[in-house]
Amino acid sequence: MFDTLYDANAGLDRGIQFGDGHFTTLVFKHGQPQLWSYHKRRLLVTSERLGMRLGDACFNDIAQAVFKTCEKQQNGVMKVIVTRGNSQQGYRLPEQASPNWYLTTSPLPSRFNSSCHVGFADMQLGEQPLLAGLKTLNRLEQVMLHKERAERGFDDLIVCSSMGYVIEAIQGNLFWRRHDRWFTPKLERCGIAGILRQAILDQGLLPSVSIVEEELTDLTDINAMLIVNSVRGVIPVSQIHDKVIDNTIPADLKAFTDETCA
């Protein structure tokens, strides 16, 4: 005898059925969500780009829950998930669907090893400009990349698009320095436009940042590399395969190191 797991008449969350949704993950400290204005913008902009009906009332409910949870728990990591809502079987968008949202929390992560040794991923990211930059629920590529990373024994991997352009690390966005100039990849084909990456660009925390399309062979002469995300903060790369590079964190980014940011 089998239990009924799915009632077709009741419908099922499209986030479970199709990955039809998106999320953001933030750090909260001393009862306050960090970089909240960026996370708020991500939730609203992604909903709009995906054509989800996330009205003011729904978003206000989410925001109130975020702040109440932060105030109650004080320190931790929070994940906010938004889906298109429930529907029955089939890809077709429901005419009437109210978004579902979920909020989970977890403890702050332990300090990341400051000697971050990375390699080049064999797996590549598929290119879909329509979804480029968005943090949707479809993260199977990252799941498989983590499997590759674990099997190869690196702390993280530098990942390229199917066209061979450097896009990101598994666990964050990339910045690298060549002489006295900084670079970060274009994210118009694929990849995630991270919260901390955007904050660094908006606030001019690195000098002379160029947004570029470069291949792995272009990284042979770089002097430094940083992996950034809003939970782990700024992680300096000390070694790319056998090449040792400068792992000094720029002064203006020390406030975002994982020791202080997360």
Query: What is the tens place of the pLDDT at every residue in 74-111?
Result: 999 999 999 999 988 789 988 777 999 999 999 998 76
Domain extent, residue 132, equals 116-261
Note whether 121 and 222 are same-domain residues: yes
User: What is the overall mean pLDDT for the chain?
Assistant: 92
- pLDDT > 70? residue 178: yes
Which SS3 state, helix, strand or coil, does residue 239 take?
strand
In a domain, 221, yes or no: yes
Which residue, among 37, 86, 87, 109, has the nearest Cα to 66 in the 3D structure?
37
> Quick one: what percent of the chain has pLDDT higher than 90?
82
CA atoms within 13 A on the CB side of 168: 23
- Confidence (pLDDT) at 107: 95
Note whether 122 and 247 are same-domain residues: yes
Which pLDDT band holds residue 3 (cuts at 50, 70, 90)? very low
- For residues 118 and 149, the answer to whether their CB atoms sit within 8 Å is no
- pLDDT > 70? residue 61: yes
In a domain, 220, yes or no: yes
Q: At 186, list the tokens.
A: 């274009």
Query: What is the average pLDDT across 63-79?
Result: 97
Note whether 41 and 156 are same-domain residues: no
**Span 202-252, pLDDT tens digits:** 999 998 899 999 999 999 999 999 999 999 999 999 999 999 999 999 999
Q: What angle do CA 20, 233, 230 make, to 5 degrees?
A: 25
- Confidence (pLDDT) at 11: 66
CATH of the domain at 256: 3.20.10.10
Which pLDDT band holds residue 2 (cuts at 50, 70, 90)? very low
Note whether 74 and 133 are same-domain residues: no
Query: What is the average pLDDT across 11-27?
Result: 93
How many helices and strands (H and E) does the chain possess? 6, 15
Which residue, among 182, 172, 177, has the nearest Cα to 235 in the 3D structure?
172
- pLDDT > 50? residue 260: no
Note whether 213 and 248 are same-domain residues: yes
Note whether 185 and 66 are same-domain residues: no
